[in-house]
Amino acid sequence: MGALGSGAFSVQIPDEEYWRKQIKCQYACPVRTDARGYVRAIAEGEYEKACLIARGPNPLASLCGRVCGAPCEAACRRGSIDQPIAIRALKRFVADQFDRRFRRLDEYQPGACDGVEEMVQLARFLASRSYLRPEGARIAIIGSGPAGLAAAHDLALLGIGSVVFEMEPKPAGMLYTGVPAYRLPRDLIDAEVDLIRALGVEFRCGVKVGRDVGFEELRREFHAVVVAVGAKRARMLSLAGADAEGIFGGVDFLRAMALGESVPIGQRVIVIGGGNVAYDVSRSALRFQTDSDVSRVALRQPAVREVRLVCLESREEMPADEVEIVEGEEEGVRRLNRLGPKEFLFREESGRKVVRGVRFRRVLRAFDENRRFSPLYDENDVVDLEADTVLLSVGQMPDLSVLSEGVTLQAPPEGVFAAGDVAHGARLMIDAIASGKQAARDVYRYLTGCEVRPEETQLHLEIEDYRREAGYEGRARLPIPAASPRERLADPRRLVETGYTEVQAVSEAGRCLDCGVNTIFDGEKCILCGGCVDVCPTLCLKLAGLEQLAPGEELGRLIELYGAEPEWSAILKDEERCIRCALCAQRCPTHAITMERFQFSQEWTYAG
């Protein structure tokens, strides 16, 4: 109940929120997926159960298994010991094998730690007599990206029909036009869209709101409007020469490549930016095939396109994921750090300005002492790089031309709701999904005047004969198998990650510390022998006198509750170090320590 360190120790009395926070992967997930639950199910060979747990709160689980930013992995307690569990890759493993077998709502099963977003909970709620169904309601959703799809999916489950308006010829928004095919298979996107369509959702593609249909027309025709247009517009740079031909937005290039449109990409490409999208752009540029490229491939001649990625940050400061940087270098992306664009160089051709390169200035720092983005340049140290194509990946913004004049999403008019990047700024795909799901709840409240809220039940169950996999604490993270660079570049749609085999998935899942399991201490039985402290392999336990504890409200409440005497002692536990090995429980001579599984279930209830 405390944190180890030098000097006084702080005290925290576990409450309901404390136990939920211990399952760090689930707590970090915007839709509260029980990642621990499906990872442990994989470790035990229960793959179908794992798939059901993964899909329960997430209508796009199979897509997240490929491209999710995985905040669960960033939070994973195993990462504080060596490396986090490969949670995203494990989700892909079960989704690829089992996800398409379970398409009916009544097949979904609850897990040990279910949130209110679990489909089975929603199904039970909808079947109850108390459910107020908004008969005949129809909602317009502008945009079919993750937020729009999630909103449409949950509205359908709530018994509310929706029509999704998508300006592109294919649904799924940036999932289709912004994520390269080498990362996300198109048939997988189609399968998820088809599932949502099967729930009664109508998709109208090739329809741009503000051009083909007016925003106010939608407000008149539908009972509510959800704006989920995403951040699809590339930010451009207002530098000298920015109007030259051959300068494009990175996301515009990705869109053109996804839709098979012609893009005049030359042989010397500069990509400006240091994030994941910049690497998507760079790696896609290496894969881009013109007519001459296709002929060259047919003759078994390698392409000669040069792609250089230039960014302001140092290698350590780059926002791109490490795997993107490494795989990009394997494929031939040349990285240049600590350079910022100063101006675009161009030449005149028949009265036209055509880009011929970029002048960069040396970056002395990208962030200030408070880690705020504040680049500082050496204006006298410049570098000219030649290029016939420049792709900008320096940020994205939403296209708000869909809105009527005078309408804003900061204070949306009655019956208008915002979801995804347009509501919260550019975030992860899973954040957009969570936002879309919340928009569906907001629409329901708007239509019915009633709100659905969670009612939670928590319990700890003692685990008899608790055991772990042999050597789990020493296992290194398994690299996610990938195709060779030559194989990747031979086919623009060849998947980079090939995914875990069954043996690999079970082994990787076995590294999970199972943070839903807790060591529970019974002070009435403890004899202060110190055996648990002695046997702990990670030194996460400590016996301390009350005088060593930092004074505070929680400690005062504890002393008042039990009437503690000055000579009393406390046992402190550092949760970050605990690997749930159970050696302390096995060593305890009085059975004062038990291994108990924390479980909670949230069910829908009405609040008028």
The pLDDT tens digits of the residues spanning 357-402 come to 999 999 999 999 999 999 999 999 999 999 999 999 999 999 999 9
pLDDT at 349 over 60: yes
Mean pLDDT of 541-570: 79
List residues bridging with 451 in a β-sheet: 607
On whether the CB atoms of residues 329 and 290 are closer than 8 A, the answer is no
pLDDT at 551: 80
pLDDT average, residue stretch 398-425? 93
Q: Quick one: pLDDT at residue 290?
A: 56
Tell me the C-alpha distance between 143 and 433, whole Å. 13
pLDDT at site 456: 80
| Alpha-carbon distance values, 94 to 83, 84, 184, 197, 446 (Å) | 21, 19, 16, 23, 37
Q: In the predicted model, what is the mean pLDDT of residues 247-272?
A: 95
The residues, ordered by sequence, that sit 6+ positions from 351 with a Cβ below 8 Å of its Cβ are none
Q: Where are the domains of the chain?
A: 2-17+514-607, 135-232+399-422+434-449, 233-396
What pLDDT sits at residue 292? 47
Tens of pLDDT, residue by residue over 452-467, are 777 788 899 999 989 9
- Residue 438's nearest CA partner among 458, 425, 423 is 423
The beta-carbon contacts of 439-445 under 8 Å, at least 24 apart in sequence, are: 439/147, 439/151, 439/226, 439/228, 440/150, 440/151, 440/153, 440/154, 440/155, 440/158, 440/160, 441/154, 442/417, 443/139, 443/151, 443/155, 443/160, 443/224, 443/226, 443/417, 444/134, 444/155, 444/158, 444/160
DSSP 357-406: EEEEEEEEEEE-TTS-EEEEEEEEEEEEEE-SEEEE-S-EE--GGGSPTT
Higher pLDDT, 3 or 595: 595
Average pLDDT over all residues of the chain: 89
Answer yes or no: same fold for 135-232+399-422+434-449 and 233-396.
yes
pLDDT higher at 94 or 105: 94
pTM, two decimals, is: 0.91
Q: Which two three-digit tokens encode residue 162?
A: 């929706």
- The DSSP bridge pattern shows strands 2-3 and 202-205 to be unpaired
CA distance 312 to 275: 11
Q: What percent of the chain has pLDDT over 90?
A: 74
Going by pLDDT thresholds of 50, 70 and 90, the confidence category of residue 129 is: low
In this predicted structure, what is the pLDDT of residue 566? 64
What average pLDDT does the segment 427-438 reach? 96
Using the predicted structure, report yes or no on whether residue 108 has a pLDDT greater than 60: no
CA distances to 299, 307, 312, 594 from 340, in Å: 39, 17, 5, 57
**Distance between CA 75 and CA 35 in Å, rounded?**
11
Q: What is the CATH number of domain 2-17+514-607?
A: 3.30.70.20
- In this structure, whether the domain defined by 135-232+399-422+434-449 belongs to CATH 3.40.640.10 is answered with no
**Residue range 530-540: average pLDDT?**
95
Task: Report yes or no: 435 and 420 within 8 Å, Cβ to Cβ.
Answer: yes
Q: Which CATH superfamily is domain 233-396 in?
A: FAD/NAD(P)-binding domain (3.50.50.60)
How much is the average pLDDT of 540-553? Answer: 85
Residues 6+ apart with CB under 8 A from 173: 143, 144, 145, 146, 148, 149, 166, 230, 232
Sign of the CA dihedral running 47, 50, 54, 59: positive
189-192 long-range CB contacts below 8 Å, 24 or more apart?
189/63, 191/62, 191/100, 192/59, 192/60, 192/62, 192/63, 192/149
Quick check: 445 pLDDT over 60? yes
How many other C-beta atoms lie within 10 A of the C-beta of residue 498?
A: 12
- CA atoms of 384 and 391, how far apart (whole Å): 16
- The predicted pLDDT at position 406 comes to 86
Residue 422 contacts residue 228 (beta carbons within 8 Å): yes
Q: What is the pLDDT of residue 253?
A: 97
Mean pLDDT of 482-492: 94
**pLDDT per position as a tens digit, 195-240:** 999 999 999 999 999 999 999 999 999 999 999 999 999 999 999 9
Window from 335-344, 451-460, 568-577, 587-596 with minimum mean pLDDT: 451-460
CB 303 within 8 A of CB 258: no
pLDDT at 296 over 60: no
